[in-house]
A = this chain, B = another copy of it.
Amino acid sequence: MPINKTEVDRRLILFKATLKESGSKLTHQRLEIFRAIASSLEHPDAEAIFRTVQRRLPTVSLDTVYRTLWKLRDLGSIATLGPRHESVRFDANLEHHHHFVCVRCGLARDFMSAQLSALRVPAAVRRLGSAVAVRADVYGVCDRCARREAAGQKRKQFPSYKRRKTSQEKRI
């Protein structure tokens, strides 16, 4: 199941460097949480990571896993798949089309593209399962959000991952 051990080690070293560089502390929990993700071929969710880490650190709590995951994401050590905590959206346009999704506000608009519609399933996928379809969407910043930003207004962004206040901030 786990990928090549050398690769995991490489990622771990990089991760430790990143942590130190950012002035964050290297705790057992963080190490194990990162190891759990780095050594998995699937893309685990918080719950799965939690269960894996629990085997080595029986006292970790699920919320530490969550906090750590967002921190690692902020540090650029891991990435997230799919939208986080977004509610489902519905679409009555049943014709083949693509979406332009705003990374700031989550707005999704339709567009057509012959190029994207013509995509064929790559051969590399064959050994993973029987492919049904390729979905291609474009991500970017919609005009409205771009205008807001140009106006210098700070608005809450779409994946507004709240950071825990530091004691410095609390004191204010």
Contacts and interface: CB of A to CB of B under 8 A. Distances in A.
Interface of A: 11, 34, 37-38, 40-47, 49, 69, 73, 76-94, 98-100, 102-103, 107-113, 115-116, 119-122, 124-125, 128-143, 145-146
A39 to B, nearest CB: 8
A77 B99 CA distance: 19
Total identical chains: 2
Main secondary structure of the interface of A (DSSP, over half): mixed
Given A80-B91, A108-B42, A122 B131 contact: no
A25 B145 CA distance: 41
Contacts of A38: 92
A131 B139 contact: yes
Contact of A119 (B40, B91, B116, B140): B116
Contact of A89 (B43, B102, B110, B121): B43
A142 B129 CA distance: 4
